[in-house]
Structure 1
């Protein structure tokens, strides 16, 4: 993917503008990338979908067999280096392939656990000996990986893990004792990435093979959804692990856990995108087939609104996903050019954009939840029937707001990571925040008439960023070191950031698309960008209003903040109803999601 690109720093979108030419849009995927994606789609349609009931019943060996088939097709090897059996493709291609299997219900859970948090710790933290031993077999699907972090007493607080590792008297093996829970792929994994405390307080990663003496498994968990994925407890009872299987450095396991989770979050976003597109397709087809009052229900405005809003949210999420994916790739290339080793480049790039990865995890999981909920509603009574596809889609989607850190944790991380960059001097947030406060005390500058595409919409985006700076800057000044305790306010600010990032990404995508294909060819996409933006305005105003309301007792300063928030979230009226009707009309005519 050769895209000329001026990469902003992670979080810098809040204070700087991005040009449309600087981002990557999904329409730019080349033929080879699309073929890889089509391989994933065909695999899900032909091999996974017919077996969903059997998978949910945990038929012995079925999911394991599908994983091995996927490995044989090369779906695990997309972004791995050629030296270890991979295709050495860029990061966005790996996201695209993850998206392509996202409609496979429980299968993408097993897929993502293997290709993301299972393989990547070895790729980026393993010794050369470890990489050569494990990666080719993992890439080919000959072996399957699992990731053992969560324990009964430590979920989001991963570093509180109790599993212990003690060096034996020979000095050649570590003896592990403890238990892990909610371990995806545990029932058939050959390789486990395990975190344990060495000497009581040195959080450390290990590669543990299934055959290790002292490793045992609990029963399959009974789950609300993703029933076909294997989820078990893993027990370590005097489990002997060779010293050479320490992953990374003793006491540096947090670097593995947290850096890999950045990649896991954005990949989860990709999987939810694929699932949402599948549900949107089913929704459109059903709306065209189902007749009431002698008309297909797709003729009714209420249904058209649902179909269009599904499409709008999917399109917007996709725009943000591949914008961020390419930013990560470009940063990786910069770090490689600076002489950073391969093992540090992608992890460093993902760390740089950790806030955006968290945004995409939250947005993707909540878009999918919205899409499946409306899918159930479009199907009506049949949506509630286990004999129709929305039942499984609805149940399977719910876990995504918990996976990879709950959405509440991720919202707080978004703000925390951006503010920490500011405190380190990596982002100049305080300067722009002070400028916004000064602007409130001045007469509005209406400026000269600008020319170009989306002038009014770009002004809205600039103002939304000012609203973020206004609220966040005030919160920092007011609470200082105790801000982390104001979780409700942090989540309000996070929502403002998420909505702005997604709206800007969508607008930039459409602007670039119009530059490539013309306004007529991208008219419906322009409708979606505008609906996304004008919806964001209201949501950002409400989040900001709630945050400001929580920061004072109604004095003059607080009133001034409300006035500023209103100024920065004000815009002309936009007819979202007619835009949605146009969007739905295209979907209905094509009888599928087409954007």
Structure 2
């Protein structure tokens, strides 16, 4: 793996951040395998998949399983490849380019598999996970109901224990369930009498289980979507997932991972839109020359690349941090009667942990998976909104052709709209990010990182090594100034909001939205800054002039976002922040020439292999 050569006392995040530029030849081979599968096996068959060819869909799942793509982050003991975090991200992003199939696959390998892997018993993991990782069985996640969308935990599906039959009886309706038509294994949530929300594993073919008609959707037609109807469905005790009354912890903690996974999917779609836009701009001629030579088109391409790079930086950073959380749970699998893959010594057959022990396991693991709620929520917000903007601009660059169904950007446009809605609407994710920042004890968490919080208070460590090219150092200086002054100002305004609203702050949603957008800008800028500097120090990534332009433009973007939201907060709260609003070039730096920087970035985008 590429190692950055850093000589000075740089910001610690630069040394630790996970970046896509750190690919080795092995990573490239894994990524190429995933991309070849998408380009050669999935995309040519999308029309058939969108026409609901279930046999083909299942065959592609099995092919993906044979290649290991369905189990990249599943432990080897349960049939997976157990690859490193960078490999998992590269594969997930590549599969994100597979349109509706990518959505279906994302659900299967995420919320369709992870609840069993992380919260199931050893018997459940052995029974289901290897087949899911092999693509032999397809997974689905059934939480949403007709009256429980954003308020996901208010569902009315009920269950009771039937002592005569020795089973739970589940009754209710689940709505908009991805993979419902083809799934073999469903993760279903229901309210257990006297206990609360509880998770179950329900197999296809169970008596009383039926699937409604396929939904007629705007996009992602290759992703099956239907209702799941449960009429006194019997589920044996062995189908109880986790512990009675702990379903809300299972649901929300895996949704946290799903939000990050959706952000990675959105990166794939965002990159594909950019690739099509660049290709068309080079080929399409008007007024006697390629439209790629026109200033407005070039500026669009630079902005598309900037949005993608900012989102990619934060998504890979968070993915690296989440990897440690997931590994901690894999190491903890012995606590529920199983054994970590390295030991191979499960508890004696027939010996099961008590219900109280199982509940303790669920709580411990859910807490581990919930350490990065704000980061995962904001990953989902920024990445899906970058996807939406990039797809929209790709259509615009194509002009009238972009509106025609024979051009793929038309499908990208329809497919993109859903990502800002499912896995929690972006509005809900903004609320979740600020709510997490408040903390359970009422004490605010350092944001965007403890290091930056310290720097905002005066301990400012630089990101850029003095040995880097001047263009990189100049761009980094702009971004640093915005990050540090913006962090200080955000902290002051967040504290003013806490003083004014107290525990009711999450209910002041207009205030929360502006805080969340400022949060996202700070986290994204810090991630982009650390990623770009690390890559430059390793001699990887963009040419120095393009990297400097990227950093300057990222700083200018964050500055505009911060200034707009924090000026409005300051006026509403009647509070003065501790730091001045960052100028477009950042405090203490020359204003950024965004037109020249965009020109530099456009030159790179039009010459690069994206």
TM-score normalised by length of structure 1: 0.89
Tell me which residue corresponds to 2:353. none
Tell me which residue corresponds to 1:173. 167
Tell me which residue corresponds to 1:233. 227
CA distance in 2: counterparts of 1:399 and 1:447, whole angstroms: 40
Tell me which residue corresponds to 1:586. 604
- Change in CA separation of 1:432 and 1:521 when aligned onto 2, cut-off 3 Å: closer
Deviations 1:428-465 (A, max 9, x none): 99x9999999x9xxxx99999x9834345323211111
- Change in CA separation of 1:416 and 1:165 when aligned onto 2, cut-off 3 Å: same
CA distance in 1: counterparts of 2:381 and 2:283, whole angstroms: 33
Tell me which residue corresponds to 1:522. 544
Number of equivalenced pairs: 568
- Check whether the contact 1:376–1:391 (CA below 8 A) recurs between aligned residues: yes
CA distance in 2: counterparts of 1:447 and 1:63, whole angstroms: 51
- Check whether the contact 2:274–2:305 (CA below 8 A) recurs between aligned residues: yes
2:384 to 365, 375, 390: 365
- Check whether the contact 2:71–2:81 (CA below 8 A) recurs between aligned residues: yes
- Change in CA separation of 1:408 and 1:387 when aligned onto 2, cut-off 3 Å: same
1:454-469 to 2 correspondences below 5 Å: 454-469=476-491
Residue 373 of structure 2 corresponds to residue 354 of structure 1: yes
- Change in CA separation of 1:36 and 1:241 when aligned onto 2, cut-off 3 Å: same
- Change in CA separation of 1:477 and 1:208 when aligned onto 2, cut-off 3 Å: same
Structure 2 unaligned blocks of 5 or more = 5-9, 341-360, 467-472
- Change in CA separation of 1:435 and 1:328 when aligned onto 2, cut-off 3 Å: closer
CA distance in 2: counterparts of 1:520 and 1:98, whole angstroms: 23
CA distance in 1: counterparts of 2:2 and 2:292, whole angstroms: 41
Instruction: Compute the displacement of 1:550 (Å).
Output: 2.4
Tell me which residue corresponds to 1:266. 260
Tell me which residue corresponds to 1:12. none
Residue 437 of structure 2 corresponds to residue 415 of structure 1: no
Deviations 1:225-258 (A, max 9, x none): 1111100000001111111100000000011101
Q: Indicate the SS of the match to 2:99.
A: coil
Deviations 1:369-421 (A, max 9, x none): 01000001000011111121111000100100011100000001111101115
Tell me which residue corresponds to 2:356. none
Q: Indicate the SS of the match to 1:175.
A: strand
- Check whether the contact 1:329–1:346 (CA below 8 A) recurs between aligned residues: no
Instruction: Compute the displacement of 1:567 (Å).
Output: 7.8
Tell me which residue corresponds to 1:404. 423
- Change in CA separation of 1:338 and 1:117 when aligned onto 2, cut-off 3 Å: closer
- Change in CA separation of 1:585 and 1:427 when aligned onto 2, cut-off 3 Å: closer
Residue 559 of structure 2 corresponds to residue 537 of structure 1: yes
2:518 to 492, 496, 499: 496
Instruction: Compute the displacement of 1:425 (Å).
Output: 7.8
Structure 1 unaligned blocks of 5 or more = 5-15, 553-557
Instruction: Compute the displacement of 1:333 (Å).
Output: 5.4
Tell me which residue corresponds to 1:572. 590
2:508 to 475, 486, 506: 486
CA distance in 2: counterparts of 1:2 and 1:581, whole angstroms: 29
CA distance in 1: counterparts of 2:403 and 2:20, whole angstroms: 34
Which deviates the most, 464-473 or 348-357? 348-357
CA distance in 1: counterparts of 2:106 and 2:594, whole angstroms: 36
Instruction: Compute the displacement of 1:84 (Å).
Output: 0.9
- Check whether the contact 1:279–1:372 (CA below 8 A) recurs between aligned residues: yes
CA distance in 2: counterparts of 1:467 and 1:421, whole angstroms: 23
Instruction: Compute the displacement of 1:130 (Å).
Output: 0.7
Tell me which residue corresponds to 2:89. 95
Instruction: Compute the displacement of 1:193 (Å).
Output: 0.4
- Change in CA separation of 1:160 and 1:200 when aligned onto 2, cut-off 3 Å: farther
- Check whether the contact 1:433–1:470 (CA below 8 A) recurs between aligned residues: no
- Change in CA separation of 1:300 and 1:567 when aligned onto 2, cut-off 3 Å: closer
1:130 to 117, 124, 133: 124
- Change in CA separation of 1:576 and 1:347 when aligned onto 2, cut-off 3 Å: farther
Q: Indicate the SS of the match to 1:405.
A: coil
- Change in CA separation of 1:100 and 1:563 when aligned onto 2, cut-off 3 Å: closer
Residue 53 of structure 2 corresponds to residue 64 of structure 1: no
Instruction: Compute the displacement of 1:79 (Å).
Output: 1.0
Instruction: Compute the displacement of 1:336 (Å).
Output: 7.6
Instruction: Compute the displacement of 1:95 (Å).
Output: 2.2
1:47-446 to 2 correspondences below 5 Å: 47-170=41-164, 172-199=166-193, 202-331=196-325, 348-420=367-439, 423=442
CA distance in 2: counterparts of 1:213 and 1:520, whole angstroms: 57
Which deviates the most, 284-293 or 520-529? 520-529
Q: Indicate the SS of the match to 2:316.
A: helix
- Check whether the contact 1:55–1:62 (CA below 8 A) recurs between aligned residues: yes
CA distance in 1: counterparts of 2:304 and 2:407, whole angstroms: 19
Which deviates the most, 83-92 or 502-511? 83-92
Aligned Cα RMSD in Å? 3.1
Residue 569 of structure 2 corresponds to residue 547 of structure 1: yes
CA distance in 2: counterparts of 1:550 and 1:389, whole angstroms: 45
